[in-house]
Chains A and B, each alone.
Chain A
Amino acid sequence: MPPRYGKLNTADWAKAAATINGYKTEPWLLKGAQILSINIEIDDDPADNLIPRTMHPSIPSYAIFNVTHYPESPAGAFSIAEVRIAGRTGVRPRGFVLRSFCDSEDARRELGARWGFPVAPAEVKIDLRHDRIVAHVIADGRNALDCELVDRDVIAGNDIQYIASMHLARNKEDGKMVLVQVDPEFVFSKAERGKPRILHLDNNAWGAGDNLRLGNPISATFTVADVTMPKIRYICNPEVPAMQGTTKVAA
């Protein structure tokens, strides 16, 4: 097998991990979500330090900046922002979530306990403007992320391919650190593509330190979709390759 794989220090990373209440999560249907998603290439070698050993980096490495507003949910309206590092578990594309920020305490509690999102409090906003979609994240009074999609252009929803996320979380039942795969379903009612811009990024706010070095911009999309947060189907041992360390927990 190729020797490239993630080199994340999971022991250090575990300090910010959520505690998940087992794997019997029931789905949530979240209607009318507004999703801004930005893909940017990042420097390959340092990026390997930002994904767990379970994963192989994508070639080239890239980061995904997601900012989403959910106007309704069982926990009420909320907005969430996250930074993911794209990679592969075995042969499947996945995004490892570095950190998430959310503006609702109820949503933070539920997202962490049900799906293992590593969520911290912050002010998260999406502004829809005529020529651009703008997002801001302010955590602990500091600007964590300013990003935008410019030159909005309509595309088809079936051209969009969001990849599933992987969260490092501690299982409340046995205390073990696991990687939880979350693979939402999307039904799009609107889809746009444009140019991506990261106007400000505080690497430390996302736990990335010097390992997240932005490179070639790829694309930005804005969608409106009904999102089903699914049952958890797979978990992985973060210390071994996915081919050996993946467990199915639900059909």
Chain B
Amino acid sequence: MKFGLFYEISVPRPWGRETEKTVYDNCLEQVALADTLGFDQVWAVEHHFLEEYSHCPAPELFLTACAMKTKKMRVGHGIVVCVPEFNHPIKIAERTAVLDILSGGRLEVGTGRSATWTELGGFRASPDETKKTWDEFVHCLPNMWTQERYSYQGRSWSMPQRTIVPKPYQKPHPPLWVAVTSPGTEVDAAERGMGSLGLTFGGFAEQDEKVKRYRKIIRNCTPVGKFVNENVSTVNFLYCHEDDAEGVKIGKRMTGTFNYLASQLLAAREAYPSKSYPSLGLLPALRQDASGPGDASGAPEGIAIGNPARLVRELKKWEACGVDRVNFLLNALESIPQEKVLDSLRIFAKEVMPHFQGASDSAAAAAGGR
């Protein structure tokens, strides 16, 4: 199992320019430290207009900065919105290729379609169309990355023959992922040979089923890319502290804040009834589970907050479900002071990572090998 970071970049009011800068600086400092500690990857969302919850509309810029501050960590779009009103597919192909070059071939490309009316309505995009345009985009991207000359006549977009340059550094191209929030999207990922970038979990039993379904279907997939990216990633919160009660208490402050912020947004399903959006999106199950009653300590099941022993126990359950990677949200509205976030990363790397094959290799390599 490998571990990574996952950024929404939530910014507390009032939004002075120094506040925004401080939050971005803090994120970059966390990423730089995580690279030295052996974390494997960093992901950033693409969100628009989601005040306080996420001030991350240009992940390619943030990820470029991450790439400049790190040596080994992979950088991931979690996700790039595949809706033409948000992003033209040519621009996606070009931007991702440049980021792959600048990062020396460390790019992962998560794809998705936005889950809020706040964003879809802001770009005047129809919620009924997003699944179709996403599907069209992910079939186009690998060809745009690999064919010297490219032309396309499709349903939502078209282009005459041109040479799309540059091409990505990774050959044949970067790994492709799908954001999985709505039920059944793991099947979409598997059928297309794409990684499952889980943004919910909804309990171990459900996750176990989803992973089994994904692994079974992907064996007979028709990959959209030039290779199959069979990987299951999920997202979690992280606050690790030597004292379990303190870790749970501070961690719950973060999960509660995140949950509160996310719920103020307008989910596509709430405002615009459509079969295209059967769930509320925006990490709903993660939010729900993170608010659960939990055990006697108050720590909800499966959430990585508390002392190292608790985190090892909970993450082993995810590993047993077949999850390959866990990406962590480290803060929400800066509710945890930066020094504590950095300490949490250090304790995690020292006392939790060694219990996981793959993660411990990364940690050892980061420390100079063994």
Which A residues fall within an 8 A CB radius of B?
1-4, 39, 41, 56-60, 62, 86, 88, 90-93, 155-156, 159-161, 163, 191, 193, 216, 218-219, 221
B13 close to A2 (CB less than 8 A): yes
In the complex, residue of chain A having the shortest beta-carbon distance to the beta carbon of B124: A216
A56 to B53, CA, bound (A): 14
User: Known: A1-B260, A2-B52, A88-B263. Is A62-B273 also a contact (CB below 8 A)?
Assistant: no
A155 to B12, CA, bound (A): 39
A41 to B273, CA, bound (A): 15
B121 close to A57 (CB less than 8 A): no
CB contacts between A and B, total, < 8 Å: 72
In the complex, residue of chain B having the shortest beta-carbon distance to the beta carbon of A2: B52
Most buried by A among B50, B118, B266, B287: B266
A60 close to B263 (CB less than 8 A): no
Q: Which residues of B contact A59 (CB under 8 A)?
A: 49-51, 118, 264-266
A193 close to B273 (CB less than 8 A): yes
Name the distance in Å between B15's Cβ and chain A's nearest Cβ: 11
Q: Which residues of B contact A90 (CB under 8 A)?
A: 260, 263
18 extra A-B contacts, CB within 8 A, seeds A1-B260, A59-B266, A159-B274: A2-B13, A2-B260, A4-B13, A39-B271, A59-B51, A59-B264, A59-B265, A60-B266, A90-B263, A91-B259, A93-B263, A93-B270, A159-B275, A161-B273, A163-B270, A218-B121, A218-B272, A219-B271
A115 to B82, CA, bound (A): 45
Q: Which residues of B contact A160 (CB under 8 A)?
A: 273
Name the distance in Å between B289's Cβ and chain A's nearest Cβ: 13
Tier of interface size on chain B: 20 to 34
B275 close to A88 (CB less than 8 A): no
Q: Which residues of B contact A62 (CB under 8 A)?
A: 266, 271
A60 to B260, CA, bound (A): 15
In the assembled complex, B346 has its CB within 8 A of some CB on chain A: no
Name the distance in Å between A214's Cβ and chain B's nearest Cβ: 14
A93 to B274, CA, bound (A): 18
Listed by A's residue number, 28 A-B pairs whose Cβ atoms lie within 8 Å are A1-B257, A2-B333, A39-B271, A39-B272, A41-B121, A56-B264, A57-B264, A58-B265, A59-B51, A59-B118, A59-B266, A60-B49, A60-B266, A62-B271, A91-B260, A91-B291, A155-B274, A159-B273, A159-B274, A159-B278, A161-B269, A161-B270, A161-B273, A191-B273, A193-B274, A218-B117, A219-B271, A219-B272
User: Known: A91-B259, A91-B260. Is A60-B269 also a contact (CB below 8 A)?
Assistant: no
Q: Which residues of B contact A156 (CB under 8 A)?
A: 275
A1 to B260, CA, bound (A): 9
Most buried by A among B117, B275, B287: B117
User: Known: A41-B121, A60-B118. Is A221-B271 also a contact (CB below 8 A)?
Assistant: no
In the assembled complex, B261 has its CB within 8 A of some CB on chain A: yes
